[in-house]
Amino acid sequence: MNKPIASISFAVIAALSLAACSREPAAPAAPKAEQETPAPVQPSQTNAQSFSIGQFTGVALLDGGLEFPNDNKTVGVGKTPEEVAQVLSANGLPTDKISLTIHPLLVKTTDRVLLFDTGAGANFGPSAGGLMKSMAEGGIDAGSVTDIFISHPHGDHVGGLVNAEGALVFPNATIHIAKADWAFLQGLTAETAASVGLDKYEAVVAAMSPKVAAFEPNADLLPGAVKAVEIRGHTPGHSGFLISSGDSSLLYIGDSMHHFVVSVQKPDWTIAFDRDAPTAEKSRIELLEKSAASGQRIYAVHFPYPGLGKFEKRAEGFVWVAE
């Protein structure tokens, strides 16, 4: 049986996200004294944070956030809330909820503008779908994007391809997606689309169809600059992307990992979003082993914004070390 088990979870998340309204990165709760003191006016934190990848410029674009209760329906399926809470509290996090951000990655090369995933669009309520606003903040025009790389066709990754009217947002971009995931997306029905958080699936499929360049696993997509990296288990064609400029590189890991503590420190725990959980768990451990050993720089789309860092292997297991 390969039935997705995420149907309830995505619906729950979409509903909860309405209330979450988190365009701020996840942060530990402020000390009480700090909460009681009126804070001085701060310049608003950027939602389009730039960094370098060799000669390229990366921009982390905040789309929004997701929040769901610690009830074992999404993270730590098969464990108890107490077991999950123990891992969260050991890392200074609230134990009653799980928070994720969504932040697609934009990369400017010498002659192209690349976008890795597109955020949630209108699929997850007002707490997500802020990609265009963040792009505007970063001075990036949607028409300048030449290539879009889709890690997998869940709502929080392809939803932002279309606007509220269902029209394609990036008129000049080729859309790269793994063949198996393109077939999966085209085969969605109203019921299965809800299970992957993509109510607007018909608009997305119609808008992207003329622009799709479907690829085989591990394809060299932009030779020397972008290579697909198959990371199996999450969806039929789930793919990461290795972005390279000279000796520098960045691995975009898609949804091979969701939470910067639970997914990294307990990679063998089941998350409801994985279509083939045992395979996803094996892939996650392999990715952690390999990346920690090589010191690979990572971009994690759901870790605390901007999601840049490395994995380290310590005596007690793997940890995420943010930049």
Q: Under the rule (CB under 5 A), what is the footprint of Zn ion?
A: 156, 255
* Residue (147 or 156) nearer to Zn ion, CB: 156
Question: Beta strands 212-215 and 174-178: pairing type?
Answer: parallel
Q: State in angstroms the smallest separation of the CB of 120 from Zn ion.
A: 9
Handedness of CA 118, 124, 130, 132 (dihedral sign): positive
Q: State in angstroms the smallest separation of the CB of 256 from Zn ion.
A: 10
SS3 state of residue 323: coil
Query: What does the DSSP 8-state code read for residue 189?
Result: -
Which structure tokens are listed for 241? 């992307």
Report residue 234: phi and psi, to 5°: -70, -50
* Residue (181 or 255) nearer to Zn ion, CB: 255
Q: State in angstroms the smallest separation of the CB of 250 from Zn ion.
A: 18
* Residue (176 or 259) nearer to Zn ion, CB: 259
* Residue (226 or 253) nearer to Zn ion, CB: 253
Can you tell me the distance from the alpha carbon of 131 to that of 120, in angstroms, rounded to the nearest whole number? 8
Residue closest to 76 by CA, chosen among 276, 258, 321:
258
* Residue (101 or 244) nearer to Zn ion, CB: 101
Which residues, in sequence order, are CB contacts of 291 under 8 Å at separation 6+? 251, 298, 310, 311
Report the run of H or E that residue 242 belongs to, with start and end: strand 239-245
Q: State in angstroms the smallest separation of the CB of 246 from Zn ion.
A: 30
- For residue 8, what are the CA distances in angstroms to 13, 58, 104, 153, 299? 9, 35, 25, 18, 28
* Residue (56 or 238) nearer to Zn ion, CB: 238
Q: State in angstroms the smallest separation of the CB of 151 from Zn ion.
A: 8
Q: State in angstroms the smallest separation of the CB of 154 from Zn ion.
A: 5
